[in-house]
Amino acid sequence: MTSPKGNAVLVEALGSALRRGGNALEDVPDLLKRVLAEESWREFVTPRGELVQHERFVDFVTTPPTQGIGASVDLVRRIIASDAEALDLLDQALAGRQGERTDLLDISKEVKAPTGTTQAAALRRLRKDKPELHADVLAGRLSAHAAMVQAGFRPKTVSVPVSRPDSLAAALRRHLSPDDIARLIRLLLEDVAPEPEGTVTAVSE
């Protein structure tokens, strides 16, 4: 951890990027990663020379400038959504593991943990249960979704326009085994009940 004055430079840069918005938001992921990695948020001085200390990262986020960055956790998550490393560091800080500070563990009572199919939720599950795949995601070798599928935490899905049977058939051939394709054909044919030969369908007027 650097000095409070040194921390202030990073804190001000992060807060300024959030307040300016627009293209400045592109700097937020990298600035946030530095603030978290160097723990600059814990202790810094304001432009007026006031010493600010935070024990919980959520307080640093939500406290108005210049004693915090005056944002919401959800807003920060949305801004850094495409940066897996930044999301992962943020989640660890909110969960109290960033810097191994156990006094932050009660933060889960106030900040809703990422759930569902979000990238943040995937990173949390991988970090907990599949650290080797988690490392691959942070290194850019796998997407969070691909890692979840590889770990068996999500089913493998295929998205194909139903209006193009030829594309649908090609996709199924790529992703299904011959046995699965044969079983699929049998299942499809079970629902097709051809009319007996010689029958006439009556149409009422």
- Structure confidence at residue 113 as a pLDDT band (50, 70, 90): low
Tell me the one-letter amino acid at 125. R
Q: For residues 44 and 4, is the Cβ–Cβ distance under 8 A?
A: yes
Asked whether residue 175 carries a pLDDT value surpassing 90, the answer given is no
pLDDT at 190: 84
Which helix (H) or strand (E) segment holds residue 52: the answer is strand 51-53
Q: For residues 57 and 111, is the Cβ–Cβ distance under 8 A?
A: no
Asked whether residue 100 carries a pLDDT value surpassing 70, the answer given is no
Asked whether residue 101 carries a pLDDT value surpassing 90, the answer given is no
Asked whether residue 177 carries a pLDDT value surpassing 60, the answer given is yes
User: Cα separations (Å) of 77 from 12, 151, 198?
Assistant: 19, 24, 65
* The most confident of 26-40, 95-109, 157-171, by mean pLDDT: 26-40
> Which of the pair, 59 or 197, is modelled with greater confidence?
59
